[in-house]
Amino acid sequence: MREKFSKEEKSWMMYDWANSAHSIVVVTVLPIFFMSLFENNTGAMATWGAVTSASKFLVAILAPLLGTLGDFKNMKKRLFTFFVAIGATSCVFLAGMPFAPKWQFILGLYALSNFGFAGANIFYDGFLPEITSHERMDKVSAWGFGLGYIGGSTIPFVVFLILYMLIPVNPAMAISFGLTGVWWAVFTIPMWKNVKQTNYIERSKRMLGDSVRNMGKTAKEIFSNKVMVLFIIAYFFYIDGVNTIIYMSTVYGSALQIDATQMMLALLLVQILAFPFAILYGNLARSFGSRIMLAVGIVIYMGICILGFNISETWHFWLLAVLVATSQGGIQALSRSMFGKMIPDLKRSNEFFGFFEIFGKFSAIMGRGFSDSSVYRLHA
């Protein structure tokens, strides 16, 4: 943090630190616990994937409307807070599941936490063009992801691993899920306190109707802008690989009967290595441009997907973990900042990010379907 950042930039970046605990503890550890409740791993994975897709689909169809509502005066922070509350509270309630494991409740709380996480990110991303300059966007976005990896993901996960070794697994998971919810809420405080909505549309008595009309206007602007529409289409396809690997990695590993401890240690390695690589992507983008660095990350992910399709040994999983760490944060960070720099009207940044979220969420749904097919092939 020797880099010079404004108070608003630091507070915005801290939200990546806050919500990244969900990405590692809930998205990757909870599936291991869920799969252990079933004898049929293939069926359990299909169920888990279907719920992941459903929560993503709901956010995807609501994203444009939520984005336009968020652009009205004082609405962005309120809607952001609403979704953070849903996500963090769901994690706290998940703490009770290891003691009374009801798979239906686990799936329901997981879906709610996913819904809160994805919904809050619409507004979090929408704040990026407001808290920094066009020239600093790549660096600020990359540092956000980097802090998420090194702090938000690593510290709660290390706590879980220590508890996992010292006490029975169910209390260890319960404490970790509860810590995730508290961590998420506490480290969102700087965002609530210091980040303000400086660009907005004045509120009207017919905000909902105006939002629907603004959605149509924004869609026309996007699809009449050749550069923006080509980027969004490309984003839909390449982020599919990133999302699929994030959400299905441990479930896929469990289906291949890779030891749970090995998977968790490999995931810890990803978080530690991803921090410097995310910062590296942001720095290299200043020299070579965001587009070139995104292309580098996409080529690496193409190799990851080919190798992952043929995984059979534990060391393969470790190799893939290292490769993922080199590019996961960089791709996500530069995608966010590159799109942010394309937005023509900062008063409507949330509207544009709402449409941006559609493509990211639908690609996650598509990726889940393909990963299910791969697992069925493995068990055939």
φ/ψ (deg, to 5) at 72 = -75, 155
Number of domains in the chain: 1
pLDDT confidence of residue 14? 94
Query: Rounded CA gap, 256 and 314, in Å?
Result: 9
Q: Is the Cβ–Cβ distance between 95 and 175 less than 8 Å?
A: yes
Q: Does the residue 25 lie in any domain?
A: yes
- The answer to whether position 201 is within a domain reads no
CATH number for the domain that contains residue 241: 1.20.1250.20
Q: Which residues pair with 72 in a beta bridge?
A: 201
In angstroms, the CA 15 to CA 328 distance is: 18
* Residue 55 in tokens: 């929560």
Number of other residues whose CB lies within 10 A of the CB of residue 340: 25
Q: Token pair of 15, please?
A: 């939200």
282 domain-assigned: yes
Residue 136 lies in a domain: yes
pLDDT at 375: 42
Report which of 342, 351, 345, 344 is spatially closest to residue 75, judged by C-alpha positions. Answer: 351
* Residue 36, domain member (yes or no): yes
CA distance linking residue 257 with residue 273, whole number of Å: 25
Reference 70, options 351, 361, 359, 355; nearest CA is: 351
- Identify the residue whose tokens are 């978080």: 271
pTM: 0.79
CB contact at 8 A, 137 and 129: yes
Domain span at 356: 7-194+209-379
Token code pair at residue 173: 């998971």
- State residue 366's pLDDT score: 57
pLDDT tens sequence for the chain (380 residues): 456 889 999 999 999 999 988 988 887 778 878 877 777 666 777 787 788 778 878 888 888 888 888 888 889 999 999 999 999 999 999 988 877 778 888 889 999 999 999 899 989 998 998 899 888 999 899 898 888 888 777 788 888 888 888 988 888 888 989 999 999 999 999 999 999 988 888 887 777 787 888 788 888 888 888 888 899 888 888 887 787 776 566 666 666 677 777 777 777 788 788 888 888 998 898 889 889 999 999 999 888 878 877 777 777 778 888 888 888 888 988 998 898 888 887 777 878 888 887 776 655 555 554 444 444 344 44
Contact 145, 278 (CB under 8 A): yes
Q: What is the pLDDT of residue 373?
A: 43
Let me know if residue 1 belongs to a domain.
Answer: no
Please give the span between the terminal C-alpha atoms of the chain, in angstroms, as a whole number.
50
Q: Which of 124, 42, 39 is nearest to 83 (CA)?
A: 124
Structural domain contains residue 200: no
In a domain, 55, yes or no: yes
Residue reference for tokens 């169910």: 170
